[in-house]
Amino acid sequence: MKKSFAIVVGLIVILVLGVFSTTFTVKYNEIAIRSRFGKVDESSIVREPGLHFRLPFFVDSIHHLDTRLQLLPSPLVTIQTKDGHQFVAEAFLLWRIDQDGTSPLAFYESYPDLLSAKMALTTQFRDAINAIGQWELDELLSEDSALPEAEAAVLAKMQEVASTGVKPVAAGISRLVFKESTTGEVTRRMQARRETLADNERTRGEAEAQRIRSQADTTAEKIMAFAAQRAQEIRTKSEERAAAYLAQMSQDEELAVFLIWIDTLEQALSRNTTVLLETDQMPWALLDTSRIKALQGADAEAPSP
């Protein structure tokens, strides 16, 4: 019984080892290189993720390549600009293993693993960063900075490693460190640049203010001219109406004078006012009722014409 159990266990172990030695898996973020007796060709590239079959260990060997994006920081590199200034730059490179065509085979044949690839790329990347020196300092630090163009130049320089199966994706400058003498000059240049920008903005603001002021004066003149014309039209109509009114009033001058006295009296007494005046003066004589009756009697006794 024990012997049979041991045989079954042994067979299971042999089966597991056989399955393990004849299969391999590829993750979604990997490409596998299957070498047969140490030789590879285009058919050795396995891109499909999942379970795959192979010949036993001594025939086929599997090498996995991680295709995820890799970050490569650079050491501090001293850069001399086109106009002779020096500063220290720190940059980074984003890269991955190229998955197109036979590039995975080129990477497999160029580098034993990712660590070896990073070490080799660090040296090449450090040399590529010197491409920043083709610009002057002012061009790198001005408002329209040439840093994006400089980063593009570094990335273009790194395209030389494409033959080894490496695909540079992006390059960037993460830090610029200036020497003390350069820092003072950069500060002075930045201050002068800001003063120039401030003067330009101030001039533009003054010109805009003058334009608005001139436009406001023109608009005010138009409004005043329109108001003067309208006032003249109103004055003309008023004079026409006054002339017609005077013509009517001239037909009976006594009635006209009497109406004017009535209007004057109403205006003078329209508020709470105490007035002490002689009643023998017009129009205040109208307040003397006895005099009004006398006037009425006189009018009654006067012979008719």
What's the rounded mean pLDDT across residues 53-75? 85
What's the rounded mean pLDDT across residues 98-126? 91
Q: Does one domain contain both 116 and 173?
A: yes
* Angstrom distance (rounded) from CA 222 to CA 295: 60
Kindly state whether residue 194 falls inside one of the protein's structural domains.
no
Kindly state whether residue 275 falls inside one of the protein's structural domains.
yes
User: Which is higher by pLDDT, 256 or 234?
Assistant: 234
pLDDT (tens digit, 9 = 90+) per residue, 149-174?
Answer: 999 999 999 998 889 999 999 999 88
Mean residue pLDDT of the chain comes to 80
**Angstrom distances, CA of residue 202 to CA of 5, 192, 214:** 97, 15, 18
* Angstrom distance (rounded) from CA 99 to CA 19: 29
* Angstrom distance (rounded) from CA 261 to CA 265: 6
pLDDT (tens digit, 9 = 90+) per residue, 70-93?
Answer: 999 988 888 888 888 888 888 999
pTM over 0.85: no
Residues of the chain with pLDDT > 70: what percent?
76
Residue 30 has pLDDT above 80, yes or no: yes
What's the rounded mean pLDDT across residues 226-241? 86
User: Which is higher by pLDDT, 24 or 253?
Assistant: 24
At 98 the pLDDT is 92
Residue 299 has pLDDT above 60, yes or no: no
Kindly state whether residue 241 falls inside one of the protein's structural domains.
no
Domain stop point among 121, 150, 178: 178
Q: Does one domain contain both 37 and 76?
A: no
User: Which is higher by pLDDT, 302 or 2?
Assistant: 2
At 56 the pLDDT is 75
14-18, 207-211, 298-302, range with greatest mean pLDDT: 207-211
**Angstrom distances, CA of residue 226 to CA of 139, 238, 240, 279:** 57, 18, 21, 50
> What CATH number corresponds to the domain at position 105?
3.30.479.30
Q: Does one domain contain both 92 and 13?
A: no
| Domains identified in the chain, total number | 3
What's the rounded mean pLDDT across residues 119-141? 88
Sign of the CA dihedral running 107, 109, 110, 111: positive
Least confident of 27-31, 116-120, 133-137, 241-245: 241-245
Kindly state whether residue 75 falls inside one of the protein's structural domains.
yes
Q: Does one domain contain both 79 and 140?
A: yes
Q: Does one domain contain both 53 and 140?
A: no
At 305 the pLDDT is 45
At 155 the pLDDT is 93
Kindly state whether residue 285 falls inside one of the protein's structural domains.
yes
Domain stop point among 66, 98, 114: 66
Provide the residue range defining the domain that includes 268: 253-301
